[in-house]
């Protein structure tokens, strides 16, 4: 998925159809000059419905289609015929789409299951025809109900990526390089901060036909939970990861402190993230000799599994993949 094609936030205007008006028709035939009421009901206005399509990975198809409207219901007809319902407007979205009403932080629904549907705007109900209003004392009502108006409004669609493991680290920690080594993903890699501007997904394959999905999240900086750097825009993608792989380069001045800062940013953003399984990978281990690695190992956190890895030489990459698999799927 190229960075330019990844869209995880859109604001769209949706409007369901109005209900059709009921008919106030009075039956007239050659030998029935003064027949009774035979006006049919109006048709229902079309709904605006969201549906999860597991083949979609981005909201780009909605980026340039800001207004989505369903059809209006048709009016009732004579001979008690009901008008046709308006055609529903279907919006396909990826798994992990969060729906909110614009101007509100309240989540309407999170769409996470393939084929899951949600009616965003309900179509207006069709009006009743005059046949519903006849009675012993009112035998020829010449009026009918108008159809009800549909619903409309602006909505926010946000995408939270569904992945087994999310890569967490400061810019230039080696996240994109690791993803390119363990999967077929080809994220942009360069030696300057914020090379990755959009999340990247890759499928990591192991022996015995095993695999898991890894997500490269744009780099976090201190204060990200307040909006600094790329801010909270991409932190939401971490919420749906089953586990987190923290990455700190071996040339960091203080590995334990850097890990603690990253952990604190996630805690301040959403405390529930602290419940996820974690592994710490000390990257760029090819820069260390055996003695240096032992010295660095004395200062790494002892509260979680730690591996020294190198995406350049392949050091401990296989062990890292197995460790992730064991945390994800082994009891």
For residue 194, the model assigns a pLDDT of 41
Shared domain for 154 and 25, answered yes or no, is yes
What is the tally of structural domains in the chain? 2
- CB 301, CB 279: distance < 8 Å: no
Closest CA relative to residue 318, chosen from 178, 186, 202: 178
Q: Which of 142, 159, 176 is the last residue of a domain?
A: 159
Beta bridge partners of 200: 216
Q: What is the predicted pLDDT for the residue at 229?
A: 45
First and final CA of the chain: distance in angstroms?
33
Do 151 and 197 lie in one domain? The reply is no
Tokens of 270: 């959403």
65 and 175 both lie in a single domain: no
Distance of CA 165 to the CA centre of its chain: 17
Q: What is the token pair recorded at 228?
A: 């600094």
- At residue 234, the pLDDT reads 64
Q: What is the pLDDT of residue 222?
A: 55
What is the C-alpha separation between 247 and 284, in angstroms, rounded? 10
Residues 114 and 97 in one domain: yes
pLDDT at position 136, please?
Answer: 85
Does residue 149 sit in the same domain as residue 242? Answer: no
Other Cβ atoms less than 10 A from the Cβ of 108: the count is 15
Do residues 2 and 150 share a domain? yes
Measured CA to CA, the distance from residue 248 to residue 207 in angstroms comes to 27
Does one domain contain both 262 and 123? no
Range of the domain at 84: 1-159
pLDDT score at 8: 81
Whether 84 and 137 map to the same domain: the answer is yes
Boundary (domain end) residue, out of 100, 132, 159: 159
Q: List pLDDT tens digits, range 187-205.
A: 544 443 444 456 777 889 8
CATH of the domain at 137: 2.70.210.12
Do 195 and 171 touch, CB atoms closer than 8 A?
yes
Residues 29 and 90 in one domain: yes
Q: Which of 159, 183, 210 finishes a domain?
A: 159
pTM above 0.85, yes or no: no
**pLDDT < 70: residue spans in the chain:** 1-5, 184-198, 219-234, 331
Q: Tell me, what CATH number does 285's domain have?
A: 3.40.50.300
Tokens of 106: 């309240």
Model pLDDT, residue 316: 92
Do 59 and 27 lie in one domain? The reply is: yes
Residues 2 and 118 in one domain: yes
Claim to verify: residue 180 and residue 325 sit in the same structural domain: yes
According to DSSP, the residues that pair with 305 across neighbouring strands are: none
């Amino acid at each position: 998925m190229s960075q330019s094609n990844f869209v995880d936030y859109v604001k769209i205007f949706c409007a369901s159809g109005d209900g059709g008006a009921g008919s106030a028709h009075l039956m007239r035939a050659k030998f029935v000059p003064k027949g009774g009421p035979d006006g049919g009901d109006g048709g229902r206005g079309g709904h605006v419905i969201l549906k999860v399509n597991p083949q979609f990975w981005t909201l780009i198809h909605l980026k340039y289609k800001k207004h989505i409207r369903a059809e209006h219901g048709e009016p009732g007809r004579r001979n008690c015929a009901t008008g046709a319902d308006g055609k529903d407007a279907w919006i396909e979205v990826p798994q992990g789409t969060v729906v909110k009403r614009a101007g509100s932080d309240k989540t309407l629904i999170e769409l996470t299951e393939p084929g899951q549907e949600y009616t965003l705007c309900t179509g207006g109900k069709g009006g009743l025809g005059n046949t519903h209003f006849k009675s012993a004392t009112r035998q020829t009502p010449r009026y009918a109900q108008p159809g009800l108006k549909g619903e409309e409004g602006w909505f926010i669609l946000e995408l939270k990526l569904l992945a087994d493991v999310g890569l967490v680290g400061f810019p230039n920690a080696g996240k994109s390089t690791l993803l390119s080594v363990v999967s077929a993903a080809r994220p942009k890699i360069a030696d300057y901060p914020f090379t990755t501007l959009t999340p990247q997904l890759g499928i990591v394959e192991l022996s015995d036909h095993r695999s898991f999905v890894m997500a490269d999240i744009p780099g976090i900086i201190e204060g990200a939970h307040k909006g600094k750097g790329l801010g909270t825009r991409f932190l939401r993608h971490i919420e749906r990861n089953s586990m987190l792989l923290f990455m700190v380069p071996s040339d960091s001045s203080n590995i334990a402190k850097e890990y603690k800062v990253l952990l604190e940013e996630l805690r301040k953003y959403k405390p529930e993230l602290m419940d996820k399984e974690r592994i710490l990978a000390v990257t760029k281990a090819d820069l260390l000799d055996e003695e240096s690695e032992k010295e660095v190992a004395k200062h790494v956190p002892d509260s979680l599994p730690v591996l020294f890895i190198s995406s350049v030489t392949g050091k401990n990459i296989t062990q890292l993949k197995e460790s992730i698999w064991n945390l994800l799927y082994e009891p």
